[in-house]
Amino acid sequence: MNMATLTKLHNFIWYGICENTETTNNDPIGECLPFDLNSGNNIEQVWLTDSIGNQTHWNYEKSENDFSKLLCGNAYYIKLRTNEDGVLSQDIPHAVNGDHDASDFFYSPSECNQIG
């Protein structure tokens, strides 16, 4: 199962289902479910950029946002919340963290199925 554990202030992720990957965040017929950003988590802000460069944004402090869920088949830029101890971590089921420091990160979005 893919699960991204975000631990840095700024994170790039791919959210979706990859071939030959099990996930616990799917519906009964195996399709990817959205990740609700309003469900009490440690995410401060999320940005999504489309194929022509248009950006949409979600912020936990705002009541009106461009979106409220991570949808499968998209890459996102995520900023985590902090407290006096530092950055708060966040687990996101069937996401892949684009951590450029990880020596075992050999992920290509072309291996994934876009859903939606």
Q: Is residue 112 part of a domain?
A: no
Distance of CA 39 to the CA centre of its chain: 14
pLDDT of res. 28: 52
Question: Has residue 75 been placed in a domain?
Answer: yes
The answer to the question of residue 111 being in a domain is no
Q: What is the pLDDT of residue 109?
A: 52
d(CA 79, CA 45): 5
Asked, for residue 43, whether it belongs to a domain, the answer is yes
- Asked if 80 and 11 count as a contact pair (C-beta separation under 8 A), the reply is yes
Return the pLDDT at 114: 42
Give pLDDT tens digits along the chain (116 positions): 567 899 999 999 988 865 544 444 445 555 678 999 998 799 999 999 988 889 999 999 999 999 999 998 889 999 999 999 999 999 998 788 876 555 444 445 555 544 44
**Residue 56 sits in which domain range?**
3-100
**By the 8 A CB rule, do 13 and 99 touch?**
no
**Number of domains forming the structure of the chain:** 1
In a domain, residue 85? The reply is: yes
- The pLDDT, as a whole number, for residue 44 is 97
pLDDT for the residue 30: 56
Residue 93 counted as domain residue: yes
* pLDDT value for 31: 66
Per the domain annotation, does 31 fall within a domain? yes
Number of H helices and E strands in the chain, helices first, is 0, 13
In a domain, 106, yes or no: no
Q: What is the pLDDT of residue 1?
A: 52
**Residue 96 in tokens:** 């892949």
